[in-house]
Structure 1
């Protein structure tokens, strides 16, 4: 893409950021859904899965000419935030289930 001004660059960044936020929100819905399938905090944290996702992101970054360190940093921050979110979701689901299962 050829830019002729900083304003054009910033406009394009804003457009991309809008798309990224929409995609991250969609990812968040998947994370929330995943919480229902997990039985404990260890399954939520899933360090092996984290490594798998980061490794795949690094390969994809390389294919697109982006330094792998940048995407790893972004992904680790995003995954960390989503793990915290999923832990809260999992805790809420566990509490709801225990209230539902409790004798009346």
Structure 2
């Protein structure tokens, strides 16, 4: 739960602390995304629009449970997922090229 701040500087300090935690979690999530590329056979599996919608529905529900704005959460997650899909597409393409060279 957010602390009640008495100054703008206190608000910014708390936001900076949260940003460090968020970036750390993004890095961890990214490492799992990198691992997922190994299990996907083609770019359609990487893009997985049905999975994207599952994740969006899940995080919107979590938002409501914890008191976050579901619209903001969805917007952030759609941007994050799109960026991770691009990362994963690059990794998947690189793995595919390595596999073709070994064959």
The TM-score range, normalised by the shorter chain, is over 0.9
Q: Which residue of 1 aligns with 2:91?
A: 89
With the length of structure 1 as denominator, give the TM-score of the two structures. Answer: 0.95
Aligned-pair Cα RMSD in Å: 0.6
1:13 matched to which residue of 2? 15
Q: 2:37 aligns with which of 32, 35, 59?
A: 35
Deviation at 1:66, TM superposition (A): 1.4
State how far apart, in whole Å, the 2-side matches of 1:35 and 1:91 are.
9
In the TM superposition, what is the alpha-carbon distance from 1:94 to its structure 2 partner? 0.3
- 1:43-101: CA deviation from partner (whole Å, max 9, x where unpaired): 00001100000000000001111121100000000000000000000000000111111
TM (normalized to structure 2)?
A: 0.96
User: 2:51 maps to which residue?
Assistant: 49
How many residue pairs get aligned? The number is 101
Distance 1:18 1:67 in 2: 21
Give unmatched runs, 5+ long, in structure 2.
Answer: none
- The runs of 5 or more residues in structure 1 that have no matched partner are none
